[in-house]
Amino acid sequence: MQRRFRGLLCSSAALVAAWSSLGQATEPVKLRYSVVATPAEQAGYQAIVDRFNQLNPDVRVELEVNAGGWSGHREKLLAQLLSQTGPDLVRLNEDLFPEFLAAGFLRELTPFIQRDGLTLNRYFPTALKAYERNGQLYGFPLGIKVNAFAYNVDLFQRYGVEKPADSWTWEGELRTAARKLTQGTGPQHTFGLTVSWGLEHIADLVWSYGGELWSADFRQTLLGSPAALAALEMQWALQFQEGVVPPGAPLQNFLDGRVGMWMTGIWEVARLAGTDLNWGFMLKPRGPAGRVLGVRGSAYFLTTQSRHPDAAWRFLRFVMSDEGIAVAASNLVEGLPMTKEGFPYFVRAVPNRDLAMFATAMNYGRPYQVPPGMQRVTETMNAAGWTAMTRGQVAPRQAMAQMVPAVNAVLQGR
């Protein structure tokens, strides 16, 4: 690690000196950083914490990993914060951010940024925008999650399917490739692709057809619009009418070599790098309105309950530094690095793989944002037709006719 980042040590040393006002305490200031992470992800977060602790002997960040996925993470954090025992720093995603902000648990970062004279123009603005409200920045993204397709190189070659090109469209080349890749029967049956009905993936599809998920004020869902319906009907037909989507778990089907294209994202590079599968990645195709990729990802936040906000900000500023970004990118934390300068570290972390297409992803990026109270919105969507649609029980047009009024009632507080 020291050899990799030797060229960045000088800037890190200067950063440490800038906080001499924290004093030389006998015992280091202890900070708690609460995250949700898989075992593979945890190693990356620990690497960031370890490097910061090494450079800052007067501050000690301790990583707390919550189990139970995002739901379990949310429940534990709320219990801690409501009982005034919350951590100093937390990892939240775009779904949880509005809830924790409305509850008053998150500290504004803009005053720290202005105090230290920082400029943010070196970071991808689309990613920062997801965690802004009323001109104030509250969270700094760990990295940028970009949705994409992973593809099985061997299956493409076996069935004579050309390597994916940047010009592919949903209803053109992608659909044609999916049909060619669907071959055989029984254990030898291969399929074209997997799809996801998660809204973070549906957003890309609907936007590429010229539609929207929500109104600008988040008081209506627009999934019943003609453009959105066209997008939903296309994906629904692939899965339930054309037979190119396999039953069962998408990830396992891909790892077993039974599917040509897996709808996933940049964050799965780390998982695939540990397999023997011959894989590649492609950006999502273009639609009638072009290619649009939702930019999302979890972020670092300072809590209002921290008794050491300056020390917590020092950790966050390390994360924002060249070295912090290099450590994150080298350990494949979250996804695309927050600066162009961090991209080479990401590429070198997975040798002998072509990941160059991700360098252009931000050209198509758009912040993925959700309305406040997203948990209740999701529950209403599922009960009012979304789940039935994604199981093939009802077609999109029928499902949206039921779902849209129910969701709008929730969004408008009726």
- For 257-274, write each residue's pLDDT tens digit: 999 999 999 989 988 988
Task: Give the number of other CB atoms < 10 A from CB of residue 376.
Answer: 13
pLDDT winner (highest mean) among 123-127, 327-331, 390-394: 390-394
Compute φ and ψ for 368, nearest 5 degrees: -95, 115
Q: In this structure, are 203 and 249 located in the same domain?
A: yes
CATH code, domain with 118: 3.40.190.10
Q: Is residue 244 part of a domain?
A: yes
Average pLDDT score over residue span 377-399: 97
Q: In this structure, are 201 and 132 located in the same domain?
A: no
Question: Long-range pairs for 162-170 at CB < 8 Å and ≥24 separation?
Answer: 163/280, 164/280, 164/282, 166/283, 166/357, 166/360, 167/286, 168/282, 168/285, 168/286, 169/285, 169/286, 169/287, 170/205, 170/208, 170/234, 170/285, 170/286, 170/287
- 39 confidence band (pLDDT: 50, 70, 90): confident
Lowest mean pLDDT among 30-44, 310-324, 385-399: 30-44
Give the range of the structural domain holding residue 326, as residue numbers without chain letter.
Answer: 6-144+297-338
Selected residue with higher pLDDT from 14 and 36:
36
CA dihedral 76, 78, 82, 88 (to 10 degrees): 80
Query: What is the model's pLDDT at position 167?
Result: 95
Query: Alpha carbon of 309 to those of 21, 136, 160, 300, 315: distances in Å?
Result: 13, 17, 58, 13, 10
Q: What is the rounded CA–CA span in Å between residue 164 and residue 180?
A: 13
Q: In this structure, are 185 and 100 located in the same domain?
A: no
Q: In this structure, are 379 and 235 located in the same domain?
A: yes
Average pLDDT, the chain: 91
Average pLDDT score over residue span 14-33: 67
Q: In this structure, are 226 and 333 located in the same domain?
A: no
Residue given tokens 């957003």 in the structure block: 203
pLDDT tens digits, one per residue of 316-369: 999 999 999 999 999 988 889 999 999 999 999 998 888 888 989 989 999 898
pLDDT tens digits, one per residue of 79-90: 999 999 999 999
Q: Is residue 364 part of a domain?
A: no
Question: Count of domains in the chain?
Answer: 2
Q: In this structure, are 122 and 40 located in the same domain?
A: yes
